[in-house]
Structure formats: structure tokens, C-alpha cells
Amino acid sequence: MRHFDLVIIGSGSGNSLLDERFDGWNVAIVDKGIGPNDAYGGTCLNVGCIPTKMFVHTADVAAGPAAGERLGVDLELRGVRWREIRDRIFERIDTISAGGRHYRAEESPNVTLFTGVATFSGVKRLTVETEDGPETITADRFVIAAGGRPDLPDLPGLLDVPYWTSDTVMRLDELPRRMIIMGTGFVGAEFAHVFSSLGVEVTLVGRSGVALRAEDADIAERFTEIATRKWDVRLNRHATSVERDGDGIVLHLDGPDGAESVPGDALLVATGRRPNADLLDAPAGGIELTADGKVKVDSTQRASVDGVWALGDVSSHFELKHVANHEMRVVQHNLLHPDDPIESDHRFVPHAVFSAPQIASVGLTEEQARRRGIDHVVSTQDYAAIAYGWAMEDTTGFAKLLADPRTGLILGAHIIGPQAPTVIQPLIQAMHFGLDARSMAKGQYWIHPAMPELVENALLNLPLD
């Protein structure tokens, strides 16, 4: 049984733990691969953030001609070369993934790479099903960074029809004429934008009354209003079954008006994700899980077994790459300095939805502030009321801020509209460093007539004491 100083499970943010300070450690990385090609490098690189945003940018360009009409510019989308788009993106992604695997397997002398499904077979003991058979390894320290995977609903007929998930849909051979997307969260919203912009007829199906229901209610309602003008949006629907129909499929629903059926040529299941802790049989390693199946950690990312840490989607409420990277740096420090541990800072975690329009958010929603009894004031600012908004002829985007009426400290910020993930960044910075709204608005120059004036005016609109 081989013994290591450190075993890292997962090749995403966990892979980034190792720098020159670990050169003297005997390290094992255990990775089962991800996606249809069992790629190295984790979710973000291979099936998540990076390739999806490369598709999103392509979709934004494809949607440009339609936006030109209101500006007096006549443009035409003459065609979409899907395979060229797909191959351009994955030639880059797959090269990076293969390079990462080669570096760890061949050019990291203190690292042993195990490829295969791993399960705990005891405390600090892991059995890996490699191509050469099972191998059991032990270590003084473990870092569980095994990520998550798409969660499939218990839908009659699903396993009998061809379906896609976010892990696989970007590698379609051909664009379908009609796509049904189950799920109105960020995955469904982003892929609806991608495929509809490339000419696919999209039906978006959700159980709740709005799309992106986790966003601030005003943001979710505005996005839903816009979405229903572009896609066939079916809300308040419960999927009852799915079946083949020739070369396509039919999804059966139960909704406000009773039973209905939706035909399609492809089905994308985007109903959520689940942590991979169950695949590891974490309890067999003495590792405590939360009620939703994640590895339970404290503020230093330590798990219930001494010498075991966890980070990223397998343990974090925030299934976001920037959170996983932050937690990685915390674990990295605590591995190297066990007598001087630091804690993760999850106070102000931002997120974005790269659909059309884009959305970005940080901090409390108005609904959360009300439920928690937190005193707050609210302001909104439309894109249409700033000069750059006039240039874009944007009539739907806005920023919404929540602040403490006494201190002026920002409690939450929510933006829907062009470049929202970029425009929100100064507000994230202000929240982290305790800059109040009045000082932020009046204590610096704001370039005119640039898009950040949206933030400046929203700050000035806050009714502070």
C-alpha cells in the first residue's frame, strides 16, 4: 500500500494547490476525468465556465444582426457553421486539458497521477480503480476537490431516450431544429441563449413561476418577461414523462391548464447539479456530509477527519469557480501552515448569468433582507437613463442596490443588462472594503459617458439618512 504526504482528489481547483512550496512533498493526484472524453482539469475548464462562455460570446455575435435594426443598421445572419464553432472551442480546451494531464503525469517528479474512480475504504485510505486494477493508497493529508455533476430528475422514460446535459451538449454533432431545455436556472438560461442565437427553436420548461427564481425578484421577473418574447417558455410545469417520437422526443407536462406535450429534436436536462461525495463513499472514510450530500467543512475548509480538507463544488454552497479558487488558496495556506490557519471569506460572493440579457448579483436580495428583518433602502437605475444606454437603445436593463440607511454600506447589488458582470465589479469591491455609497459615488471620477455611470447614478439615488 503506497503512502503519500498528500492525496488530492480532483484535477480542477485541487490541481492548482501545488506550487514550488510543495516540491519536497510526495503527492498523489487522483482523477476520474470529466465529460465525454474523461478530460483532465475539472468542470470549469472542460464542461463549465470556459467553454460555455466561448459559446456565449459566439452567440452574442450571432445575435448582433437582430439588434441592429433598432439602431438603423440592416444586418443579416447568413449562416452558422456549428462544427467549426464547436471544434474551434474544443481544440483549445482539449489541448489545455491534455497539457495539464501530461504535466502532472510526466513533468512533476514529486507527483503520482492516478486515473480512475476512487472510493474511501477507510479513514485516510483510498482505493482507486485504475486500468491495471484496484490500488489502495494512504496519506497523512487528503484534499477532497472532486467537484459535482449534473443531477438527473426521476422522470419516467428519461433513460430510454437520448438526452443531453451541460457536460455533453456542447459536443453535439449537428444543431437540432428544436431543443427542449428542462430547467430555468443559470444553466438553462445560458444554453437557451446560445442555441436560440444559433438558430435553434428553444422551449424552456420550469417548475416555478419565473425563470432564474434564485435572483432578486425584480431581476427574475424582468428576465422572464424578456425570455418569453424570445423563447417558448413553459412555467409552472411538472414534467410527467418523456418518450421517443421517431427521431425526436416528446416531453409530457402537467401545467396550469392541464396536460400538454412538447415535441423536440433534442432534450437538454438542466435541472441542477449534485456533489460527487457519494461517488467517493465519503462516509466510509469517516467524513461527515451535510443534509444535501456535500462534504461538511468548517471555516478553514477542514472536514470531520483530522488532516482532511475539502473545497469547491463537493463541499461549498457556492458552486462557482471563483469560490473554489478562493477556497483552494485557503487550503493551500493551511496545509503549509497548520499552526496558523486562515478562514475562507464567503461574505460577499458574486455570481453572473451569461444569458441575454446578462445578469450579475452580489449580497442580499430584497426578499432576503425582508425575511431577515434587515433595515435597508433601495434604489434602481435604468440603462435607458444614462448616456451610454441611449447609445445602445437599451430599454430593459437596470441596476438595483440595497444599502444600510444609516451607514450607507451596500448590502446587495443586482444588475440586468449589457456587460452586467463587468459593471458590477466596483460594487463588489466596495462591499469587501467597507466603502459606503456616498463616498463611492462622490469621492471619485466616473468616466462620462461610460457604462459605469449606471452604478454612479444608482448610488446617488439611494435615500440615505
Q: Are 178 and 204 in contact (CB under 8 A)?
A: no
pTM for the full model?
0.97
Mean pLDDT of 369-384: 98
For the segment 5-30, what is each residue's pLDDT rounded down to a tens digit? 999 999 999 999 999 999 999 999 99
Q: In sequence order, what E strands does 156-289 have?
A: 178-182, 201-205, 232-234, 238-245, 248-255, 258-264, 266-269, 273-275
Examine the residue annotation and report whether 102 is marked as an active-site residue of this protein.
no
Collapsed DSSP state (helix, strand, coil) of residue 160: helix
Question: Whole-number mean pLDDT of the chain?
Answer: 97
Which positions ≥6 away from 163 have C-beta within 8 Å? Answer: 242, 249, 267, 268, 269
Amino acid residing at 60 = D
The predicted pLDDT at position 465 comes to 80
Catalytic residue among 3, 102, 317, 448, which? 448
Task: Report how far residue 313's alpha carbon sits from residue 38's, in angstroms, rounded to the nearest whole number.
Answer: 18
What number of residues does the chain have? Answer: 465
The predicted pLDDT at position 254 comes to 98
* Residue 37 predicted with pLDDT over 90: no
Name the residue among 80, 11, 1 with its Cα closest to residue 47: 11
* Residue 443 predicted with pLDDT over 90: yes
Q: Are 405 and 465 in contact (CB under 8 A)?
A: yes
The predicted pLDDT at position 44 comes to 97
Instruction: Band the pLDDT of 107: cuts 50, 70, 90.
Output: very high
- Among 174-178, 195-199, 381-385, 461-465, the range scoring the smallest mean pLDDT is 461-465
- CA torsion, ordered 196, 197, 198, 201, to nearest 10 deg: 20
The predicted pLDDT at position 24 comes to 97
H-helix or E-strand containing 422? Answer: helix 420-423
For the segment 233-288, what is each residue's pLDDT rounded down to a tens digit? 999 999 999 999 999 999 999 999 999 999 999 999 999 999 999 999 999 999 99
For the segment 305-327, what is each residue's pLDDT rounded down to a tens digit? 999 999 999 999 999 999 999 99
Mean pLDDT of 46-52: 97
The predicted pLDDT at position 459 comes to 98
Dump the DSSP string for 218-234: HHHHHHHHHHHHHSEEE
The predicted pLDDT at position 60 comes to 98
Is the Cα dihedral 366, 369, 372, 373 positive or negative? negative
Q: Are 28 and 112 in contact (CB under 8 A)?
A: yes
The position carrying cell 478553514 is: 300
Q: Which residues of 393-409 are buried (b: 16+ CB within 10 A; e: fewer)?
A: ebeebbbbbbbbeeebe
Q: Please, which residues bridge with residue 28 across strands?
A: 7, 112
Instruction: Band the pLDDT of 167: cuts 50, 70, 90.
Output: very high
The position carrying cell 451541460 is: 166
